[in-house]
Amino acid sequence: MDIRPIRTQADYRAAMREISTYFDNEPQPGTPDGDRFDILLTLAEAYETRHFPVDLPDPVEAIKFRMEQGDLTPKDLEPMIGRMNRVYEILNRKRPLTLAMIRKLHTGLGIPAESLIKATDMGV
C-alpha cells in the first residue's frame, strides 16, 4: 500500500493529487482502493488541522449565524438572553454574554460552547 505520513507541503500536495483522482469515481469502501482513499483523506485532514487551523467565530457572529440558519428573530433569543433590550445589547456588542446565557444558547440553539466563550472585541 506504501502510504506515508504527510509531513511537508510537498507530501500534502502529492496526497491531494492522488486523492483528487478518486473524486470522479469514488472507490467502494472495504476495497483496496477504498481503504487507500480513506487513509489518504484521514492523513490529509490531520495535516490540514495542524497546519491550517480554522479559528472559531466570535460569539456574536456565532449567534447571528445560528439566527440566520434557523430563521430566528431577536425575539426568539429572549428565553436564552433576557429582555429585548438585553438581546440587542448582546447583538450590538454593548454587553458580554454571561455564563447563564452561554449555557442557554448552547442548549437551546446548539451553538458550540467554545464559540460562545471566545473573547470578543466589545467595541465600547
C-alpha cell at 72: 430566528
Between 54 and 33, the higher pLDDT residue: 33
Residues with Cβ within 8 Å of residue 27, at least 6 apart in sequence? 33, 34, 36, 37
106, pLDDT greater than 50: yes
- What 3-state DSSP class applies to 5? coil
pTM assigned to the model: 0.58
Q: What tens digit of pLDDT does each residue of 3-19 get? A: 889 999 999 999 999 99
CATH 1.10.3470 fits 59-117, yes or no: no
Between 37 and 55, the higher pLDDT residue: 37
Tally of helices (H runs) and strands (E runs) in the chain? 7, 0
Per-domain boundaries in the chain = 9-51, 59-117
Q: What tens digit of pLDDT does each residue of 84-99 get? A: 999 999 999 999 999 9
Residues with Cβ within 8 Å of residue 62, at least 6 apart in sequence? 56, 111, 112, 115, 116
Amino acid identity of residue 73, one-letter, is T
Amino acid identity of residue 31, one-letter, is T
- What 3-state DSSP class applies to 56? coil
